[in-house]
Structure 1
Amino acid sequence: MPNIQTLDPSASPLNYFGSELRRVREAHGLKQAELGTMLYCTGSLIGQIETTKKVPTREFAEALDQALGTDGLFSRLVSLVLRSQLPSWFRPYADMEAKAAYISTFQSQVVHGLLQTEAYARAVLGVEHPRQVDEVVAARMERQRVLKRENPPVLWVVLSEAALLLEIGGRDVMREQLALLLEFQDDPWVNIQVLPFTVGQHTAMMGSFNLLRFDNDPDLFYVESYDQGHMTANPSVIKERSVGYARLQATALSPEDSATVITRVMEERYGNRS
């Protein structure tokens, strides 16, 4: 008789997802392999998710709901699961980011997480999380859903030219990433400006930071160190950083000129070479 692993649904969102998957599957009289066939995956994958050895993706959860007629149960649960994969120190910021009406960010080295392709995110996150890269990438992709909701926040990104030139993941990954940035040209809620090296000193020399604005709550300033994030609503900090950000926007290239630079770098630096 097989040794069936007992799960404590209250232990974590991942445990709860796995136990619910097993419960609903068995209620339908399905074996793992049979459910796998319905979802075009292996029975082994079903077993790994049921026993919390693998984190489900949103696509998997949505396919489950469709196959088992569970009225969005797993699609709702997977949001909690993926949030739990974020570093504990980052979750408070992620919660506020999801509620913000206006997100302003300066990025000194890499493309902002809300605008990253999966391959680019995998290259960035794989440096610090090589054993959990699937999980943390899935969590980052889940964060990006905020831009696809019915009433998305305004996202304004000032991106250092360094982020275009730092070859993360290889030339193909960079070309795909820059192409994605260009796709936002027609998005009324996303604006991208490149801060060229030629501007010299500027008001964000201390590094990347985010400003969050809300409809009914105080603004927030957020900055990261190596292993933690710092978030504050201190009015003097908000005032100083808001003015500094406005100066960055005025110094950076216009969104139209920025798109021209991104296109040039994409074609000249990362294009096909004979």
Structure 2
Amino acid sequence: MTHINTLDPGASPLDYYGFELRRYREAAGLTQRQLGDIVYCTGSLVGQIETARKLPTLPFSERVDIALGTGGALSRLHELVMRSQLPAWFQQVAELEARAIEICSFQDHMVLGLLQTRAYARAVFGVLDDTDLDDRTEVRLARQRILEKPEPPVFWAILSEAALFLEIGGRETMREQLAHLLSFENNPRVNIQVLPFSAGAHAGLTGSFDLYRFASDPTIVYTESYGSGHPTANPDTVKDCSLRYDHLQAAALSLKDSAELIRRVMEERYGEQHGSGGDPVA
């Protein structure tokens, strides 16, 4: 267990966050319990965050910033803390996401992480391993804040139709997830297309991949295998994957038709079902 009197602020971003939280709290003359009362949590939770045993959430950081007059310091630090909690092999990818001006993603079997709801992400992470499920889910959701920046990247996402039918987390979770996809329908910077089953053989049969484009740096292609990620700027690979993405977009449904399919699956497959007498069926 990490003790507050031995916490090393240089050990990790999480340790630095805890060190700074304690410093700001003590400068304000507040106990952990008093600060907890102000920001609507327990003093025990404040203590766990100060000793790097618990991840801070963004709402917690924002409330503490206001309560202690930090000028937003902890909220700004929160993004770095969340990124540091990603698997080491994925941290570089999160940095690419944060810097890119355009992201093009193809996902061949499920909804990709940047578009997942909390319940969907928990269901994905919970397969065979439910340890630290809340924290792991929070870390994934923190990546999605790149879409909320003042100037977010232009995001193109192509999902296989299979992702709409693979029932992850149950019917309610899937209905919420598909509704979340539809929430971007009028957002010109988040564009979601569905690759229908009727497309048959297509340019993405070799697997999922992402393209990250930047204002001045070379384009990066990212692919993933079990427990490892593979970013590359190799010109031949970038050229090949860019061509594949163009063909996937051509084979996918239009933005409008994609939204209509998502809506139809949400209502017909995951909507409220009724028995023959018209009463809802659980």
Aligned-pair CA distance for 1:25: 1.2
Report if aligned partners of 1:82, 1:135 keep a CA contact under 8 Å in 2.
no
Structure 2 CA distance for aligned equivalents of residues 222 and 229 of structure 1: 7
**Once the 2 structures are TM-superposed, how far is the Cα of residue 5 of structure 1 from its aligned partner?**
4.7
Aligned pairs, number:
272
Where in structure 2 are the equivalents of 1:86-125 lying within 5 Å?
86-125=86-125
Residues 248-272 of structure 1: CA deviation (Å, up to 9, x unaligned): 1111111111111100110111111
Q: Is the 8 A contact 2:4 2:50 kept in 1?
A: no
Alignment of 1:78-157 (within 5 A): 78-127=78-127, 130-157=130-157
Task: Tell me the secondary structure at the aligned position of residue 6 of structure 2.
Answer: coil
How far residue 129 of structure 1 moved from its aligned partner, in angstroms, is 5.0
1:102-251 equivalences under 5 Å are 102-127=102-127, 130-251=130-251
Runs (4+) off by over 6 Å: none
Q: In the alignment, is the contact (CA less than 8 A) between 2:158 and 2:249 conserved in 1? A: yes
TM-score, normalised on structure 1? 0.96
Which residue number in structure 1 is paired with residue 69 of structure 2?
Answer: 69
The DSSP-based 3-state class of the residue aligned with 2:217 is coil
Unaligned runs of 5+ in 2: 274-279
Q: 2: CA distance between counterparts of 1:149 and 1:226?
A: 31
Write the distance in 1 (CA, Å) between the matches of 2:24 and 2:147: 32
Choose 21-30 or 166-175, whichever is displaced more: 21-30
Write the deviation string for residues 198-256 of structure 1: whole angstroms up to 9, x where unpaired: 21111111211101111111111100000100011111111111111111111111111
- Give the superposition deviation at 1:54: 0.7
In the other structure, the counterpart of 1:44 is: 44
Can you give the 5+ residue segments of structure 1 that lack an aligned partner in the other structure? none
In the other structure, the counterpart of 1:272 is 272
Q: CA deviation at 1:126?
A: 2.5
CA-based RMSD: 1.3
Partners of 2:4 and 2:195 in 1: how far apart?
Answer: 56
Tell whether the 8 Å contact from 1:65 to 1:72 is kept in structure 2 after alignment: yes
Distance across 1 between alignment mates of 2:96 and 2:23: 33
> Whole-Å Cα distance in 2 between the matches of residues 114 and 128 of structure 1?
22
Deviations 1:81-111 (A, max 9, x none): 1111111000111101111111111101111
2:109 is paired with a residue whose SS is coil
Q: Secondary structure at the match of 2:194?
A: strand
